[in-house]
Structure 1
C-alpha cells in the first residue's frame, strides 16, 4: 500500500519551496510494511519521514482515538518533536491532535489522555509501560496503527530498549496489524537493529538515505602540545576560545560532568572578551538546563560546554562547530555529536577533536579515520535481561490476569527475548510470584497467585506500588544542592559519597561556579557562592566511557603503519623512541614490559581493552601476584594499559594470564566485592525486589542501598542460586568489570605474549607514572605541579628530548 500526501500538506510544503527527499518518499511508499528501519544522517528529516504515513492516513480519513505512538529516549526530545510536528499539521490545517506524555506531564492531563487519547502521542519507554499497566490499556490503544521509535540505536543499546520491545510485543498482541518504524542516524549493524525492531516472526525493511557530504573533521591544532597524562584538555583553552570567536555557536562536548565543569571554569578564567558561554549536563538543576536550552535555541549563546545530555536529535539553534574535548572513546558517539553542527540535509558538519594526552592523540587519529571510513563500533547485545522481564511480568499482572503460556508467547515475540528458554521464563515468573526460595516466607514478596489457570495480583492494591517503580533508570545516590537562604536557588545535585567528604568551608564546582559548603539541611546541601577559592571537584556520577574495541583495534593497527600518518610530530617522536627502546604493541600480540623504577619492580600490560577491563585486569593480576609471593604494592589503569608495581620482579607473565585461572579469580573476587552489591542494587530495583518509590515518595539512594545490602547478604547466605544473584553475576562481569573484553583479548593473542625485560622506564610507560593515584598531586597549584612532575620524570627516564 502506498500512501499519498493530503493536498493541504502538499500545498504547505510546496509553499515553502520544500520537496520530499528520496528517503522520505520511500518511507511514504512503504507505509504498509510491518516494520521499517530508516537510516539517515542528522538533519536529513528522519522524524518527518517517520510521520509522513501517519499524516497521510489521518489527513485522508481522520478518526478519533490513538493512531500513532512516538517513543523517544529523551523527554526533551518529545517536547521538541511536538513543536516541530505541529508546524506542518497546523500550517496545513489538518485536524490532528498531538500531545506528549512524559514524567513531566501533569496528573490531570495524563488522566484526560487515558480517557480521550490524541491522534499522535509522544512518549518515553517508561510512560508507555505505565500506560500498558492499566486495566483499560486495551481501550486506550484500540485502533493503534503505527509506532515510531526515534534514536533507535540508542534504545537498542540499553535496558530501556529491552523494556520498550516488551511493551511493543504487548501492543502487537492487542493490535496485530500494528506497524513499526525505527529512526536512526548511526547504525553499525543495520541487520541486527532491524532484527531488534521486528515483530516476532516478521521481517523489517531497511531504508538507507544518501549519507550526505563528508564531514569537515580534524584535530584542533593547539599552541601547546597535549600533556603526557590527564583528561581535561585545559592546554587547549586559548585555542578553543579562538574557535568560539570564529563561529556562530559551538558545542564543546566532554565525556564526564566533572571534566565539563573544570573546562567551563577554565574557559571563563580566560574569556576576557566576555563571550556568552553556558554549561549543560545531567547533574544540573532542570531549571538551569532549560535556561541554557532556551538561550541556545534563541541564538543568545556563543558556546555551550556539555556532556551526553546534548548528544541526541534536538536541533539546537544555529550550531556550526562541534569540539570534542578528550578522545571520543566511541566512534558512534562521535558521529552523533558531529551531527549537531550544521544540522541540515546535505550540509557538511564541522568538528574538531582535542586529545587530552599523548595516548589520546593516537586514539583521535584512529577515530577520525573510522569516521571517514564510515566504520562504526558497537558490541552485539546479549539476550534480553531477566530483571527487565521480571518487571514486565508484574506490569502484565497489573493490567489483567494472564495465562503463563500466553505471556511466554508474547514475550518471545520481542526481538531481545526471541531466544528466551521456557525454564528462564518460569524462573522469572516464580520470582515475580513469590520472591524466590529464600523469600517466599515473607508476605511482602508474595505478589502473584494462580487461580483458575490464570496468574493475577494477590492484592490488587499492590498495583499502585508496582506502577510507581516502573522503569530501568536507577536513581543515583545524590543530594540536591541549593544556595542557602529562604527560597534558595537550586543548582543541581552531587553524589552522597562526595557530600560525605565535605566539611563546612570546603568548596566545589557546581554549574561552572565555585560554591562553599555550609551544611546539610533536610537532605539538601546548602552552599554559598565563593568565587575566590580553588574548588574541590564534585565526583559526579557521569558515565566514564571505555574506549571501544573498534578504536583499540584501529590504534594497534596504526602503530604498525610506516610513519604513523596523521599523527602529529610530537607524538610520532614519542612512538619512534618507544620502538627504538622497546617495541610497539601489535594486533594479535600482547606487549608486556618489566623494568625497575624508584626501587620498585614495574610491569606494564598493554591490553588495549578499555578502562574497565584494564582496571579489572589490575585487580585480578595483583591478587594472583600476592598468591605467588611477588608482593605487589599497587596498580593504575587507563583505556590502553595497566601498570603494576611491587617488591619483586615478575619473571614470566604468562602463567599469571592463564584465562581459566583469571576466571576463577574473578568469581572469587566478585563474591565479596562492592561491585556485586552495587550491581545487585540495580538488578533488585528493576526486578521489583526493592522499591525506589512508595506512596509518591522517592527513597534516598542511601535507604535503597541499605535495603539492598541486607537482601544481598541474606540471599548469598541462604539462597546462593537465587535468580537475582545469577543475574547480578552476569551483569557485573559484563558491566563495570567488563571481563568479557579481557577474555576476548587473551583469545585474540592466543598466548602470543611479548614480555620484554628492560633496565629503564620506556616512553609508552612514562605517562602511566603520572596517572592519578600513581603520583598524587593535590592543592591549588596541581596543574603546575603535574607539569613539573612530568618534566622531571621525562628527564630522569632519558626522555627529555620528547618534552614540548
Structure 2
C-alpha cells in the first residue's frame, strides 16, 4: 500500500478514506464494490493497488481487465492507467480493445495481451471466438467493471455475468470489482456482479463524501412563454446563450440525438459568433468527430458542447464549469450523473441548470430537487433468463474452440441470470444451436453447431464469420453511413429516416445542412447545403419514461402547487396560472385522488386518465383498460400516452361509469387481461425482432450489405408467426412475451399503480375543453402523424383555441 500512498503524495494529493479501504481490500485478495460520487477518484481506488501488487510479483500476461460501458470512457481510463504505471515505475503495458481499435493492434493482441486491458463487454465476447483464447486469460488477477450501474438493467450486464463466469472457471482466485454510482438496489447489483456462489462475501467500500448539488431552473418571466406541450425547449434559447459566455466550459445535455442536432443548429443561428467554439457530441456522429470534440473540450478550445448521454459518464474534459439540462431527464440518477460533470473533482459543488420544454416540466424540476434532497435513486432491475444472450454465447464458445456441454452448463449456472435455468431448458438451447429446434430443423442455415467426440463446435467458416459480426446485445434500427461526396464519413442515421427523403432534399446532421445526392445499400452520399431548412433525423426508442421514484415526488409537488399559497420552489410559483386553469376546468388531484376526465368533441369521445406512472406503464394500462371496456360492448380505441397519463379515443360513447362500478382498475387477472389485450398488438412482435437479432435467428448482413428495415421486419414477422402457430413453447417466443410484460409494459409497476389507485378517491370529471393535463396527451397523438414544423404551428393554434 505504501506505493499507492507515495504516488498520491507525489501528485500532491491526500487519499480519501474509501480509497485507502479499497487499496487494502484489493491487496488482501477481496472482491466487492466501490460506491462513490462522480469525480471523487474512484478509478485510482482500484487501479493503484493492482499496479502496486505487480511491482512485487512478476507479471505473466494480462493481469487486469477493465470493462467500461462506452468506448469514450476507455480513453480516459487508459490515460489514468499510463500516468500511474509510469509514476510508480512499473513496466506494465496499457492498451485499449474496442470496436475502434485498429486491426494491427487486434492482431497483436491475439498473440499476447498487455498487463492492463481496457475494453467493453462486446469486445471480450469477440475475443472468446478466438481458438485458444484460454491462454490469454489464464493469469488474469482481477476484472473491474466500471460504471456498473450503467450496465445493470440491460442485457450487457448478462454478457458481463457470462464473461465473469468464464474467467472464474479459468482462474478461480480471480478478483471481481465493480465501480458504481448509487442506485436504489445496490445490494442486488453486487450480488449480480459476484455471482450466486461467491467464495466469500463481497466488500462494500462506500465513500463518506457529501457531494453538494445545486439545481437552478432557467425560468421565463411569464409561464405563458412556455408551450403546454413540446420537447425542444427553444422558447428559452436566448436565456441559455448567456450561460455559455458566463462560464469557461459548458455541457448542454439533451435527451435525444435529434434534439441535440436542433439545439446546435438554433444556437448558431441565434449567435453566429459561437461558430468554432460550439460543438456537438452524440453516438451517431463519427468516431473521429467525437474524439476531436473530447480533445478540444479537454484542451479548452471549446466553450460549449451540445450532447446526449454519450457524455453522461466519466470522459475526461477537466472540470466543466456549467451543465445545462434541456427538458426533464425523467430519472433522478440520470440527472445527478449529468450534474456531476460540473465540479467533477473531489469536494467541488455541482450545479445544473434545468431548461423546461413545456409548462408542466416546471413541476418536474421541483420534484427532481426534492428527490435529490432525500437522496432518492432508481433501482436498476437485472435481466434474468435472457435466452437470446445465452444462445449467442453458446455459438460464441462453439466458434472459439468448442465446449463440453455439461462443463459449460455448470459454468453458466454460476450467474444470477441463469442460476434458475433447468436442465430441460439447457438441452433446448443446445438443440436450438445444433439443429434449430423442432421448427427450423429442416433449414441448414440454423444447423450452426456440430457435436464431435462430445465437443460442441462450429466448423463452418461462414457460420463463424456471420456470428462474429452479430455479437452484442445493443439493437437499433438499420443504420446507413452518411458520407460527404468529396470527403469524410460524418456518422450514421437510421435507414427509415433516409428512405423517406428524395434526391435533392436537405436535412441537418452532425451540425451541417446537407443535400442528399445518392442513396444505395447502407451508404448515403451528401454535399453541404447553405442557408437551408431541412428535416432532422430522429431515432427509434429515443424517448425515456418517467421513473417510478420521480413520479412519486411529481405527485407530491402537483398537490403542493395546488394547496399552498407560498412556495420554496420558484417553479411552483411560476406555474400558478396553469394550475388555476386546471382547477377551473377540472381539479388538481392530491395524493389521495385519482383523476379521470371525459370529453366529447368533434373528434369523438375522449377518456383521459392520470396515474403519473410514466409512458411505458401508461401504454400497458391503456391497453388493459381498453380491453376491459370491451366487456361492456364492442368498441375500437385509439391510444395516446405521455408520462402523466393516457387517452382512450373512440367514435362511440365510452361506458366509463359502468366500468368504474365493476372495478375496472382491479389487479385481479392482470396478467391474463394484459396478455389478451396484446393479442392484436405489435408489441410482442417488436420485442421478438430484437431477440431474433441477438440470438442469431436473423443475420442482418455483412458490413456494407446490411438487411434493410423492411426486410428485417418481414423476416421477423414470418418467423414470429411460425413460432406462434407451430411452436408456442419456443423459449425465445416466451422470452419476448415476458419482456413485454416486464420491461415494455412494466407490469410490476402497473400492479403497484393499480393497488395505489384502489386506495384513492376516484374522480371522474366531464370537461368542455382539454385541460392543461389533457392537452399534452392530445399533442402526443398528433406527433405520430405530423412533421415537427407543422406540429409546432398546430400546438400554437390549439393552445389559443383551448387556452
* Greater mean alpha carbon deviation, residues 574-583 or residues 497-506: 574-583
Select the residue among 607, 611, 620 that pairs with 2:611.
607
Bigger drift between 77-86 and 645-654 goes to 645-654
Deviation at 1:683, TM superposition (A): 0.6
- Does the 8 A contact of 2:39 with 2:344 survive in 1? yes
Which residue number in structure 1 is paired with residue 355 of structure 2?
Answer: 354
Q: Is the 8 A contact 2:482 2:526 kept in 1?
A: yes
Matched, 1:26 2:2: no
Look up the match of 1:789: 798
**Residue 149, structure 1, aligned to residue 145, structure 2:** yes
**Per-residue Cα deviation, 1:504-549 (whole angstroms, up to 9, x for no partner):** 3433221233333344244323333334333223222362100001
Q: Is the 8 A contact 1:212 1:348 kept in 2?
A: no
Q: Which residue of 2 is the match for residue 578 of structure 1? A: 582
Q: Which moved more, 1:241-250 or 1:85-94?
A: 85-94
Structure-2 residue corresponding to 1:406: 407
What is the rounded CA distance, in whole Å, between the counterparts of 1:359 and 1:44 in structure 2?
35
Alpha carbons of 1:41 and 1:192: their partners in 2 closer, same or farther (altered >3 Å)? same
Answering whether residue 65 of structure 2 is matched by residue 69 of structure 1, we say yes
Aligned residue runs from structure 1 range 305-704, under 5 A: 305-450=306-451, 452-457=453-458, 459=460, 462-483=463-484, 485=485, 487-541=486-540, 543-561=542-560, 562-563=563-564, 565-566=568-569, 567-579=571-583, 581-587=585-591, 590-598=594-602, 600-622=604-626, 625=629, 628-629=632-633, 634-647=638-651, 648-652=653-657, 653-654=659-660, 655=662, 656-657=664-665, 659=667, 663-664=671-672, 666-668=674-676, 670-671=678-679, 673-694=681-702, 698-704=706-712
Q: In the aligned structure 1, how far is the partner of 2:158 from the partner of 2:182?
A: 19
Partner of 1:771: 779
Shift in alpha-carbon separation, 1:780–1:455, aligned structure 2, 3 A: closer
Query: Which of 50, 56, 61 lines up with 1:60 in the alignment?
Result: 56
CA displacement, residues 715-767 of structure 1 (integer Å, 9 cap, x when unaligned) = 22322221211111112333344444333322332374614132423644353
Gaps of 5+ in 2: none
The alignment partner of 1:594 has SS state of: strand
Q: 8 Å contact 1:283–1:540 — kept in the other structure?
A: no
- Taking a change above 3 Å as real, the CA distance of residues 604 and 20 of structure 1, as seen in their structure-2 partners, is same
Identify the match of residue 211 of structure 1 among 209, 212, 215: 209
Match of 1:264?
A: 264
Q: Structure 1: which 5+ runs fail to align?
A: 795-804
Mapped to 1, the partners of 2:189 and 2:74 lie a distance apart of 22
Tell me the distance in 2 between the aligned counterparts of 1:539 and 1:677.
22
Alpha-carbon distance in 2 for matches of 1:762, 1:468: 51
- 2:729 match: secondary structure: coil
Question: Is 742-751 or 180-189 further displaced after alignment?
Answer: 742-751
Q: Which moved more, 1:450-459 or 1:333-342?
A: 450-459
The answer on whether the counterparts of 1:73 and 1:150 sit within 8 Å (CA) in structure 2 is yes
8 Å CA contact retained: 1:636, 1:768? no
Q: Residues 330-370 of structure 1, C-alpha deviation per residue, up to 9 Å, x if partnerless?
A: 11111111111121011111111112112222122111111
- Post-superposition offset of 1:454: 4.5
> Any conservation in 2 of the 1:574–1:763 contact (CA below 8 Å)?
no
Displacement after TM superposition at 1:391 (Å): 1.6
Residue in structure 2 matched with residue 304 of structure 1 by the alignment: 305
Which deviates the most, 223-232 or 748-757? 748-757
Residue 739 (structure 2) pairs with residue 731 (structure 1): yes
2:219 and 2:207 map into 1 onto residues whose CA distance is 33
Q: Residue in 2 aligned with 1:800?
A: none
**Alignment correspondent of 1:294:** 295
From 757, 765, 774, the equivalent of 2:765 is: 757
Moved more, 214-223 or 175-184: 214-223
**Following the alignment from structure 1 to structure 2, what is the Cα–Cα distance between the partners of residues 762 and 423?**
55
In structure 2, do the counterparts of structure 1 residues 223 and 714 end up closer, same or farther at CA, with 3 Å as the change threshold? same
CA distance, structure 1, for counterparts of residue 638 and residue 462 of structure 2? 53
Change (3 A) 1:110 1:504: closer
Contact 1:582 1:756 in 2 (8 A): no
- The answer for the alignment partner of 2:100 in structure 1 is 104
Query: Cα deviation per residue 1:463-495 (whole Å; 9 max; x = unaligned)?
Result: 443333221122421222233x3x344333222
Q: Structure 1 residues 639, 65: closer, same or farther in 2, change over 3 A? A: same
Q: In structure 2, what is the Cα distance between the partners aligned to 1:572 and 1:286?
A: 46
Change (3 A) 1:445 1:350: same
The alignment partner of 2:516 has SS state of strand
Q: Aligned partners of 1:409, 1:587: CA distance in 2, in Å?
A: 50
| Contact 1:394/1:432 (<8 A) preserved | yes
Deviations 1:61-98 (A, max 9, x none): 33231111111111121122112211121233321111
Partner of 1:363, secondary structure, is helix
Distance (Å, rounded) in 2 between the aligned partners of 1:521 and 1:458: 34
**Secondary structure at 2:621's aligned position in 1?**
helix
Q: Is the 8 A contact 2:60 2:139 kept in 1?
A: no
- Kindly indicate whether the alpha-carbon contact (under 8 Å) linking 1:143 and 1:175 is maintained by their aligned counterparts in 2: yes
Q: Take 1:143 and 1:335, find their aligned partners in 2: how far apart are those partners?
A: 38
Q: Which residue of 2 aligns with 1:801?
A: none
Verify the 8 A CA contact 2:645 2:777 in the aligned structure 1: no
Distance 1:344 1:498, change over 3 A: same
* Structure 1 position 651, deviation (Å): 3.7
Take 1:602 and 1:700, find their aligned partners in 2: how far apart are those partners?
38
Give CA-to-partner distance per residue, 1:137-160, whole Å, 9 cap, x none: 221112111111100111112111
Q: Does the CA contact (< 8 Å) of 2:330 and 2:546 recur in 1?
A: yes
C-alpha separation in 2, matches of 1:19 and 1:779? 53
Q: Please, what TM-score do these two structures have when normalized by structure 2?
A: 0.91
Partner Cα separation in structure 2 for residue 279 and residue 694 of structure 1: 30
- CA distance in structure 1 between the aligned counterparts of 2:496 and 2:625, rounded to whole angstroms: 28
Deviations 1:677-699 (A, max 9, x none): 33222111211222245599655
Confirm or deny: 8 A CA contact 2:185 2:380 kept in the other structure. no
Q: Is the 8 A contact 1:777 1:786 kept in 2?
A: no
Q: Distance in 2 between matches of 1:661 and 1:189?
A: 29
Deviates more, 1:299-308 or 1:562-571: 562-571
- CA change 1:693–1:112 in 2 (3 A) is farther
Change in CA separation of 1:424 and 1:571 when aligned onto 2, cut-off 3 Å = farther
C-alpha separation between the residues in 2 aligned to 1:526 and 1:622?
A: 46
Shift of 1:39: 0.6
Asked if 1 retains the 8 angstrom alpha-carbon contact of 2:319 and 2:341, the reply is: no
What secondary structure is seen at the aligned counterpart in 1 of 2:501?
A: coil
2:245 is aligned to 245
Taking a change above 3 Å as real, the CA distance of residues 619 and 517 of structure 1, as seen in their structure-2 partners, is farther
User: Alpha carbons of 1:191 and 1:10: their partners in 2 closer, same or farther (altered >3 Å)?
Assistant: closer
Deviation per CA, 1:357-407, whole angstroms, max 9, x where unpaired? 122221221111111221101253342412111122222333344443322
Q: Distance in 2 between matches of 1:278 and 1:34?
A: 43
Q: Would the alpha carbon gap of residues 271 and 281 (structure 1) be closer, same or farther in structure 2, given more than 3 Å must change?
A: same
| Map of 2:12 onto structure 1 | 17
